[in-house]
Amino acid sequence: MSYTRDELRWNGWGLARQSFDLGGNDEKVWDFLRESVGLPLLPETPARPLEACELPDVRLDAATLASLRDLCHASTEPLQRAAHALGRSYPDLLRLRYGDLSSAPDVVAFPASHEECVALVQYCDSASLAVVPFGGGSSVVGGVEGRGGPGHRGVVTLDTTRMSRMLELDEVSHTATFEAGVWGPDLEQALEARGYTLGHYPQSFEFSTLGGWIAARGAGQQSNRYGAANKWLVAARLATPAGTWETRPFPQSAAGPNLNEVVVGSEGTLGVITEATVKICALPEARDYRAYLFKSFEAGAAAIRRIVQAEIPVAMLRLSDGDESYFFGALQGLRKPHGKGTEVAEKGLAALGYGPGRCVLMVGLEGDKAHVRGALAETLLACTREGGLPVGTSPGRAWLANRFAMPYLRDPMMDRGIGVDTLETSTTWANLPRLYEAVRHAISSKLVRGAVLTHISHSYKDGASLYFTFFFPRAEGGLDAELAQWRGLKTAASDAIADHGGTISHHHGVGQDHAPWLGREKGELALGMLAAAKKTLDPQGVLNPGKLLVD
Amino acid sequence: MSYTRDELRWNGWGLARQSFDLGGNDEKVWDFLRESVGLPLLPETPARPLEACELPDVRLDAATLASLRDLCHASTEPLQRAAHALGRSYPDLLRLRYGDLSSAPDVVAFPASHEECVALVQYCDSASLAVVPFGGGSSVVGGVEGRGGPGHRGVVTLDTTRMSRMLELDEVSHTATFEAGVWGPDLEQALEARGYTLGHYPQSFEFSTLGGWIAARGAGQQSNRYGAANKWLVAARLATPAGTWETRPFPQSAAGPNLNEVVVGSEGTLGVITEATVKICALPEARDYRAYLFKSFEAGAAAIRRIVQAEIPVAMLRLSDGDESYFFGALQGLRKPHGKGTEVAEKGLAALGYGPGRCVLMVGLEGDKAHVRGALAETLLACTREGGLPVGTSPGRAWLANRFAMPYLRDPMMDRGIGVDTLETSTTWANLPRLYEAVRHAISSKLVRGAVLTHISHSYKDGASLYFTFFFPRAEGGLDAELAQWRGLKTAASDAIADHGGTISHHHGVGQDHAPWLGREKGELALGMLAAAKKTLDPQGVLNPGKLLVD
């Protein structure tokens, strides 16, 4: 295993020993961030240490605890309960940092096999205990909060990470079967040793699991090439109160609805995903990540559309709007100051029309050498046709080097009075400009001070995703005031999405935070179907109560 | 519209004015087919004409009929009732040819809009009338039989073909919205006029509808390029007893399970598909269809696997096994006799090792000129690496010219005592040889005389389909004896598929014929979920009773 749970921050991102690299230029970076949110001074708003936080009493009696311990390893240690109380959404972090551990589970159980999972889930069902599946715990939508439903006597969080073996590698069919609690890096290491990759690299890659990717319908940064979870999932095995539910590994089938597409996005409400068979690819022989500058977001988006609709085989297309391009350019420049040449180059770019407001498009290519070479020529042509200026591979290298680092910046920002959240949606190409403006406007109108950055990071022949990052001075007045501030932002953005033809989530999932908008998107009939399907597997609603479907 | 229902055979394939072209060499062809099934003489087994068939009485009273007629055009004409009694499966044809019209619906209704469909379905629900959605009626799995469920007072077949308009063409997002009753040729004509294609060309293309393709989870011959229905469906609208159920056109979403993947394959049991938004492609600039010969099925399959796993962009890969290659080669030779050169060429091929038992792989490429040129070089290399011998484009041209023709041969075969049926499955590459042998063996062991032909027509990185065509002397003894003969074959083949890791259908669907095997494939928990989901939309089970899910 890459690490153990106690090497991770219980109330923040990633490894406790690791932090965001400011390149030794801390003061300049913090000055820049302070100015970005319009604060005269950065306040000190540290998180409460675990020792100062109060955990609720364990509600289970000794006999119940003994029964759970007979089924698998189970812990009531404070660190485990705290680390499994919540996920990594902004309101989750607020609560953790204020020491609100009211949603800590009574017990954290660590089944080591599918069979142990089934026994555990069925015991919980019989004992009226809620079961909250928990992989990496990186949910940013309230998907892993340790809450029970009506009538539940307590909450058992089911940590899947002891189920982490590769069970089969089928080199003929290019599929691999893993236990679902495997961490991202361990999965890739097992595949890479045999010459393969799943290619699923979400920003949370280092601290998330295969089962979580499937449950939350995740997409990796190279989704153009490798697809989101629904594209690479071939078969799944789940533990449910009604027993084992499995899908079968057919490359394609017309035997009724495709239930893999119901497993993907089920968010622990239909069963605990214990094993999964996934499509794998030969490790790419070559990689090419390079950047192009565009004079406008529209021009960059047009280049992406041109590339995907022409079916040029790319791994990633990532376009930042003017505000985001400026922000990350400036941040990078402060962390690793450029030489004098940069200033001259900037003047040249401005003279060419690529001055302030320019947008950066990162084009990532992966595959065998000949394909990458071909795609390089084709993407170059497509970009230049929309006015894109090629600026080489060094921005690509910088992006690759930092691609998992950004979440580490959130904790120190929150320590200094700066709130930061992200949300994402998708829509058709025709509707993209309208949705972009509407969501930006909705968020901006709720921000007295702060900024909204936007990028397109996933694209399709029929449309693309929009990813919004926004930061703001944290409200004063304590946890409730801060949660209200967040709720105001979230509601405005989500309403704008629902009102303007976007999906409430492109790859973060629904959890609790998006559940109120799911009915507007899918319709009440669809929610009724999902609830009815759930009831056949989980008649008492013990599986992840309150997530995906509002009770 | 391309044609009206009364231009079509009510008890056989396609247009009444069209038939299979034997090239004027009827006697030779029939001699060959007779020998293929091992008959000394071909008996005369004509179908009963409609005038000689008895239709069951219409069970509905005048008030009910009047109510239906208030909602939309509705017919009780004998031709309409007969033409909507059954689909085009082998047992359906047997029943039609014997004049068994016991499953003729009481009424055929022709709603002209989504709203009329909703009103009709809701009226039927309130009046305890079964509703059988019917597009082209080309189901080969018993998917459109006009049967009611327990407690239903009668059966209304809902013919969708008056709903055939293109509602929107979004040239920015490359999507189009159609009413679901549009016939294949009309859909393509509307798109081609604007420079686009859906690219969905099943063998039934000319006589099937968009809604049927979606309902049955169909795949077209060029599925490598254009995908099966689940790949191109973006959004759907359905009429259900509970009202309108819609999905939304997002390019990708993480808002819970993907319900488009439940619509696809729902076979009219969850609602009547009335409108659909689909992904479209620019019309290909170039096409290249050519053939390669392989010394064995294994070698040809290895070439396909090599091509798809290397992600070479192909439109179609279609590999016939030795028996099928021989059969179609001989048939083609009899219809259009070759010159003397052929005999010499055959000797040369035999000397090179491509004699009897050789397998034909058809490689279809579509796209812009540069892509087709590149893919041609890459597929050539992949094929030759597995011992494939390129034999040029003329077999490709012949295949394209005849690709919708084969179903026309079934009726005259049945007229002459020859039964013919097909079935298909899919599995992983690793399991393909085992499944191929098992299904061939299962069918062969039930055939006292006759033949089994097999091809791979759909391929994926993780596996491929297997399509079996088998013909045999029709049993003597009347309809029951013939149905029993078919059931013996079907059961043996289906058991072999279920026992050896195949799906019960790759692209034909489930209908009634495969329903008994669905539980073995999906598990009883999954069937329970689907039944529960259906109940929320269709509490009284009026929608297509007995299909997909056994009551």
CB contacts under 8 A, B 46-75 vs A, are none
* Mean pLDDT along residues A169-174: 98
Name the residue among A251, A428, A508 with its Cβ closest to that of B254: A508
pLDDT at B539 over 80: yes
B230/A258 Cβ within 8 A: yes
Q: Which residues of A, range 398-427, sit inside 8 Å of B by Cβ?
A: 426-427
The single-letter code of the amino acid at A538 is D
* Residue of chain B nearest A525, judged by CA positions: B245
The pLDDT score that the predictor gives to residue A551 is: 64
A14-18, A79-83, A339-343, B290-294: least confident range: A339-343
Q: Mean pLDDT, to the nearest integer, of A308-323?
A: 97
Q: pLDDT tens digit string along B345-383?
A: 889 999 999 998 999 999 999 999 999 999 999 999 999
Give the closest residue to A363 by CA, choosing from A346, A382, A387, A350: A382
Is A310–B368 a contact, with Cβ atoms under 8 angstroms apart?
yes
**Interchain pair B532, A532: CB under 8 A:** yes
Average pLDDT over residues A128-154: 97
> Is the dihedral angle over the CA atoms B186, B191, B194, B195 positive or is it negative?
negative
B5-16+48-162 CATH: 3.30.43.10
More confident residue, A339 or B119: B119
From A248-257, A463-472, B16-25, B101-110, the region with the lowest mean pLDDT: B16-25
**Which CATH code of 3.30.70.3450, 3.40.50.410, 3.40.640.10, 3.40.50.150 fits the domain covering B286-402?**
3.30.70.3450
CB contact under 8 A, A174 and B243: no
**CA B486 to each of CA A77, A277, B104, B443, B504: distance values in angstroms, whole numbers, following the listed order:** 65, 36, 22, 11, 17
* Contact between B253 and A506 using a beta-carbon 8 Å cutoff: yes
pLDDT band at A489 (very low <50, low <70, confident <90, very high): very high
Q: pTM of the entire structure?
A: 0.97
On whether any CB of chain B is under 8 Å from the CB of A513, the answer is no
Pick from B134, B131, B120: nearest CA to B156? B131
pLDDT tens figures, A275-298 = 999 999 999 999 999 999 999 999
Q: What is the pLDDT of residue B1?
A: 59
Q: Which contacts qualify for A202-207: CB closer than 8 Å, 24 or more apart?
A: A202/A507, A203/A403, A203/A404, A203/A406, A203/A407, A204/A88, A204/A136, A204/A138, A204/A404, A204/A407, A205/A404, A206/A2, A206/A14, A206/A404, A207/A8, A207/A13, A207/A14, A207/A136, A207/A137, A207/A138, A207/A183
- pLDDT band at B551; cut points 50, 70, 90: low
Domain with CATH 3.30.465.10 in chain B: 166-282
Contact A257 B265 (CB under 8 A): yes
Contact A284/B at CB under 8 A: no
Nearest Cβ partner of B257 from A234, A256, A266?
Answer: A266
Round to whole Å and give the CA distance between B63 and B80.
Answer: 21
pLDDT band at B37; cut points 50, 70, 90: very high
Q: How far is A130 from chain B (nearest CA, A)?
A: 20
- pLDDT tens digits for A3-34? 888 899 999 999 999 999 998 999 999 999 99
Nearest Cβ partner for B536 among A266, A458, A532: A532
Query: Terminal CA-to-CA distance of chain B, rounded, Å?
Result: 37
Query: Residue A190 is encoded by which pair of tokens?
Result: 């097992």
Q: Looking at residue B339, what is its pLDDT?
A: 75
Portions of chain A given CATH number 3.30.70.3450? 286-401
pLDDT of residue A4: 84
Q: Report the range of poorest mean pLDDT among A252-256, B21-25, B55-59.
A: B21-25
pLDDT reading at B5 higher than 90: no
Do the bridges between strand A389-390 and strand A286-294 make them parallel or antiparallel, or are there none, so unpaired?
antiparallel
User: Which token pair is A84?
Assistant: 């499994």
Q: Go through chain B and tell me how many residues it has.
A: 551
Over pLDDT 90: what percentage of chain B? 95
Q: Contacts of residue A308 in chain B, CB cutoff 8 Å?
A: none
In tens, the pLDDT along A403-445 reads 999 999 999 999 999 999 999 999 999 999 999 999 999 999 9
Q: At residue A318, does pLDDT exceed 90?
A: yes
Contact yes or no for B259 and A228 at CB 8 A: no
Whether B179 has its CB under 8 Å from any CB of chain A: the answer is no
| A536 at B interface, C-beta within 8 A | yes
Q: Which of A174, A257, A279 sits opposite B530 (nearest CB)?
A: A257
Residue A103 has what DSSP assignment?
Answer: T
Q: Which of A426, A462, A504, A544 to mutate to test the interface with B (most CBs of B within 10 A)?
A: A462
A301 to chain B: nearest residue by CA? Answer: B172
For domain A286-401, is the CATH number 3.30.70.3450?
yes
Region B302-307: what's the mean pLDDT? Answer: 98
Percent of chain A with pLDDT over 90: 95
Tell me what percent of the residues of chain B surpass a pLDDT of 70: 100
pLDDT at B438 over 80: yes
Its ipTM equals: 0.96
The answer, yes or no, to whether residue B162 has pLDDT greater than 80, is yes
CA dihedral sign of residues B443, B444, B446, B447: positive
Q: How confident is the model at residue A344 (pLDDT cuts 50, 70, 90)?
A: confident
> Cβ A265–B255 below 8 Å, yes or no?
yes
* B506 vs A contacts (CB less than 8 Å): 252-254
User: Where in the sequence of chain A do the CATH 3.30.43.10 domains occur?
Assistant: 5-11+47-161
Strands (DSSP E) along B280-324, which ranges? 281-282, 286-294, 316-320
* Residue A106, φ and ψ in degrees, nearest 5: -70, -40
**B349 interfaces chain A, CB cutoff of 8 Å:** no
pLDDT at B448: 85
End-to-end CA distance of chain A: 37
What average pLDDT does the segment B70-74 reach? 98
For residue B236, give the 3-state DSSP assignment: strand
State yes or no: pLDDT of A353 exceeds 90. Answer: yes
- Residues A420 and A436: their CA atoms lie apart, in Å, by 19
The CATH number that domain A5-11+47-161 falls under is 3.30.43.10
Query: Partners of A272 in the beta sheet?
Result: A239
3-state DSSP assignment of residue A39 = coil
Summarize the confidence of residues A494-498 as an average pLDDT: 98
Placement of tokens 């089924």 in the chain: A71
Residue A301, pLDDT > 80, answer yes
Mean pLDDT score of chain B = 96
Q: Which residues does chain B have within 8 Å of residue A506's beta carbon, measured at their own beta carbons?
A: 252-254
Q: How far is CA B259 from the centre of its chain?
A: 23
Backbone angles phi, psi at B278, to 5 degrees: -130, 155
Binary contact (A256, B265; C-beta < 8 A): yes
pLDDT at A356 over 70: yes
Q: Which residues neighbour A213 within 8 Å (Cβ) at sequence distance 6 or greater?
A: A200, A202, A229
| Model pLDDT, residue A343 | 82
**A279 reaches B (C-beta below 8 A):** yes
Confidence of residue A163 (pLDDT cuts 50, 70, 90): very high
Task: Return the CATH number of B166-282, one of 3.30.450.20, 3.30.830.10, 3.30.465.10, 3.40.50.1370.
Answer: 3.30.465.10
* pLDDT (mean) for A459-480: 97
Residues in chain A with CB shorter than 8 Å from the CB of B371 are 311
State how far the Cα of B351 lies from the Cα of B341, in Å rounded to an integer.
15
Taking residues B118-135, report their average pLDDT.
98
**What residue ranges of chain B are covered by domains with CATH 3.30.43.10?**
5-16+48-162
In a mutational test of the B interface, the residue from A369, A429, A529 whose CB has the highest number of chain B CBs within 10 Å is A529
Give A1's pLDDT tier (boundaries 50, 70, 90): low
Phi-psi region of B174 (alpha: psi -120 to 50; beta: other; left: phi over 0): left
Calculate mean pLDDT across residues B155-170: 98
The whole-angstrom distance between A517's CA and the closest CA on chain B is 9
Beta pairing, strands B154-159 & B107-110: parallel
